[in-house]
Amino acid sequence: MDSIYIDSDVDDRVRRQSIYEGELFVFSARPSILALCEFARELIEEAFGSFDPQEAQHHLAADEYVAILARLKPRFVHHPRSKALLQRILEEFGCDLSKTYFDVPRLKSVTHAGQQASGLTYGIHPHRDTWYSAPFCQQNWWLPVYPIGMTSALAFHPRYWKEPVRNGSSQFNHYRWNKYARKSAADNFDDYLQNQPRPEETIELEPQLRPIPPVGGVILFSGAQLHSAVPNSSGKTRFSIDFRTVHLDDVKAKIGALNVDSAATGTSLRDFMRGTDFSRLPEQVIGLYDDEPLGDGELVFRPPFLEKPTV
Ligand SMILES: [Fe+2]
């Protein structure tokens, strides 16, 4: 990684290639992103009632707080309007919807000082999404819902773009994770943490980059980037949205970022839906990435809501 493109107008193909080479893209406010933020705020503010959502962590009991998030997050994730707004974003950013596949947008929250700890509020440790069976052509889109600053940002660790990190990804299989582990995000914090691949050596967190877009802005980056949530010391809960995209041509051609240290098995490609009609990727294309037999079909069981282990 050596460049950050600001409000770049290169086309989607060139942008994807640059992302695979480790560059970051940061955009200032766009109408389609603002519309998604506004919708998220509506749901968030409705869920917290009379409380300011960014302050509610200081006023609610832990079980009450987690219960609100456990209702709020799946509502946003599976709301038809979320998908429709995401289509508008892809259009505005020049993506070919007939070949661009996305997974559902996730609503994330990281509490100030790690309070109200659960899998629904946890600020994630340094990781690459590829440690969690993401394809190397995955692009991550990350955007703040309320204003953020340097104490509540997303951090990138550029020296590790080319440098391997000893990690636990060889123990991670996407199908096992779906079946057994992710459902415990709300109620079993220890299980949630233990089941995630993490660095198995000391990471030098500095130097790090913290792009800070305004509300309505977005950061685009490769799923192979080492990234983490900055420990939130802002005094407020950080709400953000993230989603991922892949382009059919790149999936077929197995184009993407270099793999420096990921050894996860299975693939998350079944999570992705086509931008036009929400159809899934063809099985024969996914088969290019399946390194384990699917067995009796149970292995692709998809629970109604799962908190992805990403920031
Ligand atoms: Fe992530």
Amino acid 114: pLDDT: 77
The pTM is what? 0.90
Please, are residues 245 and 101 in contact by the beta-carbon 8 Å criterion? yes
| C-alpha closest to that of 127 among 199, 232, 178 | 199
What is the distance in A from the centroid of ligand 1 to the CA of 50? 32
Residues 78-96 pLDDT 10s:
999 999 999 999 999 999 9
Cα angle 239, 243, 246; round to 5: 165
In the block, tokens 């079993």 appear at: 188
pLDDT score for 124:
74
Q: Are 286 and 270 in contact (CB under 8 A)?
A: yes
The CA distance from 221 to 196, in Å, is 21
Between the alpha carbon of residue 50 and those of residues 46, 60, 133, 178, 198, the distances in Å are 9, 11, 40, 35, 38
CA 254, CA 309: separation in Å to the nearest integer?
Answer: 24
Residue 277 alpha carbon to ligand 1 centre in Å: 26
DSSP string, 159-208: GGGTS---BSGGG-BHHHIIIIIGGGTTT-HHHHHHTS--BSS-----S-
pLDDT at 238: 94
pLDDT tens track of the chain, all 311 residues?
A: 789 999 999 999 999 999 999 999 999 999 999 999 999 999 999 999 999 999 999 999 989 999 999 999 999 999 999 999 999 999 999 999 999 999 999 999 988 887 766 655 555 789 999 999 999 999 999 999 999 999 989 999 999 999 999 999 998 888 888 776 665 554 555 555 556 789 999 999 999 999 999 999 999 999 999 999 988 899 999 999 999 999 999 999 999 999 999 999 999 999 999 999 999 999 999 999 987 544 444 433 333 333 444 44
Residues paired with 102 in a beta bridge: 245, 273
pLDDT in tens, 229-284: 988 899 999 999 999 999 999 999 999 999 999 999 999 999 999 999 999 999 99
Select from 204, 209, 228 the least CA-distant residue to 131.
228
Interval between CA 54 and ligand 1 midpoint (Å): 22
pLDDT attached to residue 118: 60
Angle at 10 between CA 88 and CA 243, to 5 degrees: 40
> Which residue's structure tokens are 């990435």?
289
Alpha carbon of 214 to ligand 1 centroid (Å) = 20
Cα–ligand 1 centroid distance for 298 (angstroms): 26
CA of 88 to the centre of ligand 1 (A): 23
Distance in Å, CA 218 to ligand 1 centroid: 15
| Alpha-carbon dihedral angle through residues 274, 305, 292, 252, given to the nearest 10 degrees | 10
CA of 136 to the centre of ligand 1 (A): 13
pLDDT at position 309: 43
Q: How far apart are CA 145 and CA 217, in angstroms?
A: 9
Ligand 1 centroid from CA 219, angstroms: 12
* Cβ contact 125:225 at 8 Å: no
Q: Ligand 1 centre and the CA of 119: distance in Å? A: 14
